[in-house]
Structures are given as C-alpha cells and as structure tokens.
Amino acid sequence: MKTPLLQFTEKGIYCEQANVYLDPWKNVDKALITHGHADHSRWGNKSYISHFDNIPIMKHRLGDINVSGVNYSESFTINNVKFSFHPAGHIPGSSQIRVEHKGEVWVFTGDYKLQHDGISVPFEPVKCHSFITECTFGLPAFKWRPQDEVFTDINEWWQQNKAEGKTSVLFGYSLGKAQRIIKHLDTSIGKIYTHAAVENLNEVLRQQITLPETLRITKEIDKKEIAGNIIIAPPSAHGTVWLRKFAPFVTATASGWMAFRGARRRRAIDKGFVLSDHCDWQELLTAIKATGCEKVIATHGYADIFSRYLNTLGYDARTEATQYEGENLDAKEESEVNE
C-alpha cells in the first residue's frame, strides 16, 4: 500500500520523503510552521521554516531559535519534495503549506478564515488533491456576520459605557484577535489601553501592520486616566486582581464561541461579540470547493460531524486527531497574562 505524502504520527504531521514535520507537537529536527499560535508553533525543534512575517512572532514567543523564512508562493525543495507557503488569513504571518511530490499535491491549512480582517494577508485557495482542514466551527449553526457590523456594535458598546462613566474591558487573544480589534476601534471615542501581553505583541506586529496608538498599562498608571476608555486584555485576565482595580467597568469577549447561547453567562461576561479568526460552516465548504480537492482530512473542531457531511457531498473525507486547540488557548498561551 502506498505511503501517504503526509502522515499523522505521534509527533505531528509528517512528510516521510522530505523527513520534515508540519506544525509538530513534539520536538523534531525540521519543522515547517503555519503560524505563531502556541499550539502550532512550539519550542524545542532543531530548525524551523515559516513565512518571513511569522519569524518575529516566533522569536518573541520561543526565544533564540534556528529559523529561516520564505515568501508567499516561493517554492523550495527538500529531497525532491516541493513546498510553498500561501496566505491563510488567520492572523498576521499565517500560512497554508502546499506539498507536492511526483504530481501529487496536498495542502495543510493550519488555521484559516475567509473573512478579510484588515491585518492579515487574505486567504487564497490553493488547488490540490488532498486538503487538511481545521473545523473549529464546523457546525451549520455557526454563521458569521460581516466584520464591519460587529465592529459597529463594539464601538457603540464602548460609547455607551463611556456615557455611563464606566471603563470598557474587551477580551481577545493576545496574538491576532487583539490586534484585529484594535485596528477597527473608533479612536474618536477615547484611548486604547492594553494589557502587557497584548502590548508586547503589538510592538512586534507594528513592524508589519499599522495599528492605532495604544497605551501599555503599568503599575504606575493612574486608574483615573483609564476611566471611560477601553482596555484590551487576554481572556485569562478576567477575574484577576489586576483587572479589579479598574472598577467600575463593563466586560465583553470577542470570540466565535459567543454564538452559543449561554456562553457569555457561563464565562461571567457582561457582553459577547461573535468574532472569530476561523471559518464558519459555509466558509469551510467554500474553501474546500475552491481547492478542487478529492480527499479531505478534518482535524481539530467538529471533525466527525463535518467529515460525515463532506462524504454526503461526494468527498472522500475522514478525520485525524491532533493536538491543535482551535479557538482555545493552551497553557503556554495563557501564561502570557503574567508578562
């Protein structure tokens, strides 16, 4: 039986012919990395290859690593296997990885979305025979509203809180989601203050994207200066002593999970905004169709349900287990709140 071009192993997604791994979750000699989130980009590999824009993010999070960069659509060959990185639209520097050998083409998406966020290079479909897709939100119930409508709601919420003399606190993951929020805030309402974990990544990402002015919250800052303005913080700052000192405040979370009824209440959040850096149900189907693929491997998310539906459409679809988290933070990412 022919060995698949990409195999799912205990260390990660493996290309035997080139002896490389894609987003491995255990230490390997050579790793190709789709993007900088902690579940896809882990410390301890001997060497890394990623898109040039992702390298500053990786070095910020992983330290002094042996990493080389490539541009989008730039091909390179390892032991007669041709690789290239293509925009995933997930967060700044995020990529899909195209793998070709003897006329067979696979694409590994990592994480991706079709909605253009204004800070990431937009997703580009890549023709292939086999497509490895996340399906974090692979249920028909997930259907995202246009981004501009969501940010209109966010800015109106901030304006209303300010009128009531309250500070707005909006939670979003420190890499990607926080910068997407900041990019679209209406700075005529007030100032944008940031938790250190967010501001550290703002400083890294300002090398490649334009963001409004943000003000780092330090121990020295007078809370009276912050009153009525907005604070962007990672989700793990919720309920902390750090946050309580800014009372009175109103909290909100920007996440795809806010589409679930009761999610805001369970998280003890005052307001929920449905905003995801992953595809909704229809976007997943649109992306898969655009590739022209025949085979689909569904990974993290609602993989079983999604793959079963793909089979009814005529695809050869199956699932594989990974250690990717989707729109959930692992312990390493959560630790940023202590920075």
* CA 316/CA 311 separation, integer angstroms: 6
Cα–Cα distance for residue pair 318/310, rounded to 1 Å: 9
What pLDDT is recorded for position 267?
74
Angle at 38 between CA 30 and CA 216, to 5 degrees: 130
Predicted local confidence at residue 334, as pLDDT: 37
How many other CB atoms are there within 10 angstroms of residue 77's CB atom?
11
Q: In this predicted structure, what is the pLDDT of residue 328?
A: 63
Q: State the pLDDT at residue 223.
A: 86
Output the six-digit token pair for 143: 């259907």
The answer to whether 101 and 82 have CB atoms below 8 angstroms apart is: yes
Query: Please, is 198 exposed, middle or buried when counting C-beta atoms within 10 Å of its C-beta (0-12, 13-18, 19+)?
Result: buried
Give pLDDT, residue 100: 98
Most distant CA pair in the chain, distance: 69
For 45-98, the DSSP string reads -SEEEEEGGGHHHHHHHH-S--EEEE-BT--EEETTEEEEEEE--SSTT-EEEE
Question: By C-alpha distance, which of 151, 89, 150 is closest to 124?
Answer: 89
Count other Cβ atoms within 10 Å, centred on residue 152: 13
pLDDT at 339: 30
State the CB neighbour count (10 A cutoff) for residue 11. 13
Burial class (CB in 10 A: 0-12, 13-18, 19+), 314: exposed
Cα distances from 334 to residues 46, 175, 229, 321, 331, in angstroms, run 25, 11, 25, 23, 5
How confident is the prediction along the chain (339 residues), in pLDDT tens digits per residue?
Answer: 688 999 999 999 999 999 999 999 999 999 999 999 999 999 999 999 999 999 999 999 999 999 999 999 999 999 999 999 999 999 999 999 999 999 999 999 999 999 999 999 999 999 999 999 999 999 999 999 999 999 999 999 999 999 999 999 999 999 999 999 999 999 999 999 999 999 999 999 999 999 999 999 998 888 889 999 999 999 999 999 999 999 999 999 999 999 987 777 777 889 999 999 999 999 999 999 999 999 999 999 999 999 999 999 999 999 999 999 877 643 333 333 333
- Residue 275 vs residues 93, 180, 278, 335: alpha-carbon distances, Å: 19, 10, 9, 23
The SS3 call for residue 197 is: helix
Instruction: Report the predicted TM-score, pTM, of the whole model to 2 decimal places.
Output: 0.94
